[in-house]
Amino acid sequence: MDTGIDKDYKSWIIEVKSKIRAAQMKAGLAVNAVVIEFYWNLGKMIVEKHTAWGTKFIEQLSKDLQAEFPDMKGLSTSNLKYCRSFYLFYEPAIGQQLVGQLQESDKQPAEISQQLVGQLKQIPWGHNILIFTKSINIPVAQFYIEQTLINAWGRETLALQIKSQLYERQGKSISNFKNTLPEPMSDLAQQTLKDPYNFDFVGMTSQMKERDLENQLVKHLSKFLLELGKGFAFVGQQYHIEIANQDYYIDLLFYHIKLKCYVVIELKNTKFMPEYTGKINFYLSAVDTLLKQADDKPSIGILLCRDKNNIEAEFALRDIGKPIGVSEFSFTEILPEELKSSLPTIEELEEEFKNLSNRANDI
């Protein structure tokens, strides 16, 4: 092939491949939308006959449908029951009951309903089942639907986020963002924080130091980034800065791509103390002076402690000029080696149990 043609062909084939991928994605979304709509209508039909026939007819319906459509998936008794639950859960959102649940929204009920229907059709059926079976109401379900779409979560990740009660933790950190950041950045920054942060993927003892926790978080960086949320890019651990010929080290430094700012994270494996805010405020001043570019937004600090008093944290942040959030964190606590060695082994426990049984039989 001629060199000029070869170069043009390579550019052209890239464009063709891109269009094919876009078409495949569009076709996949279209198929998924049809499946979700079918399950909705099927659930509605089952609900309408429930009063007259009860729920036992679902088993017979499953047998009849599978006999007629042996190669079709989704006709099992359990899935038909899911279809029924799916319709019952979201039906109020299509009617007027949603108005009372979402009074804070500036959208009209028709807009909310249309948006919700569109979102449901974009999520695979397995994701939908997880959401409507694990959510206590429609606003909670909508939160997980939107987060799934924004973050492109797989089913396992979605299940993990629901189990960790992300809805209850999102945006709950104590912060001074309202006073230190302009709108809408203050609201966006607040929503990036959680309280508490769940570090169950880390195994430590309560006696370990902050550096041990820090090393564990970096070791499990992908899980740590998942817990932090979308947009965090890791910059460094024990990030070195020099001020007045003195060396300082930031525990963990990130850059938030959406907020367009540096994020300083300080770890304290103790209860919150007001003086901790002074140190992180110092680091934020240093980062804003030494690292922040002209188009970057003000740097944000996140102080993570084992425990905190919310009123105390609010007072500590009240007159600080830099944006700082204070949250708790939790992790899986493991037994120290010296305590492990003092505990009986499985074999010893089994032997003691046998002895107890023998004594009982002798009585």
**Residue 3 has what pLDDT?**
55
Q: In angstroms, rounded to a whole number, what is the distance separating the alpha carbons of residues 70 and 72? A: 6
End of a domain among 163, 187, 208?
A: 163
| Percent of the chain surpassing pLDDT 90 | 57
CA distance 348 to 325: 49
Residue 321, number of CB atoms within 10 A of its CB: 12
Mean pLDDT value across residues 244-263: 96
Q: What is the pTM of this model?
A: 0.75
Domain boundary among 163, 183, 211: 163
What Å distances lie between residue 19 and 24, 61, 339, CA to CA?
9, 42, 61
Give the pLDDT of residue 346. Answer: 59
292, part of any domain: yes
The whole-angstrom separation of Cα 225 and Cα 218 is: 9
Are residues 211 and 124 both part of a single domain?
no
How would you class 98 by CB atoms within 10 Å of its CB: exposed for 0-12, middle for 13-18, buried for 19 or more?
buried
Q: Does 82 lie in the same domain as 53?
A: yes
What number is the average pLDDT over the span 274-286? 96
Does pLDDT of 17 surpass 80? no
Which pLDDT band, with edges at 50, 70 and 90, does 321 fall under?
very high
Domain assignment present for 346 = no
Could you list the residue range(s) of the whole structural domain that residue 201 is in? Answer: 174-340
CATH number, residue 320: 3.40.1350.10
- The residue ranking higher by pLDDT, 99 or 341, is 341
Q: For the chain, what is the domain count?
A: 2
Write the pLDDT tens digit of every residue in 194-238: 999 999 888 777 677 788 889 999 999 999 999 999 999 999 999
Q: What residues does 203 pair with on adjacent strands?
A: 332
Average pLDDT over all residues of the chain: 85
Q: Are 290 and 325 in contact (CB under 8 A)?
A: no
Please report, to the nearest 10 degrees, the dihedral formed by the alpha carbons of residues 131, 132, 133, 135 taken in order. 80
pLDDT of residue 101: 42
More confident residue, 309 or 354: 309
Residues 72 and 62: beta-carbon distance below 8 Å: no
Is the domain of 178 the same as that of 41? no
pLDDT band at 313 (very low <50, low <70, confident <90, very high): very high
Decide if 116 is inside a domain: yes
Q: Report pLDDT digits (tens) over 41-58.
A: 889 898 888 777 777 888
Average pLDDT over every residue of 254-277:
95
What is the Cα–Cα distance from 331 to 210, expressed in whole angstroms? 13
Domain assignment present for 126: yes
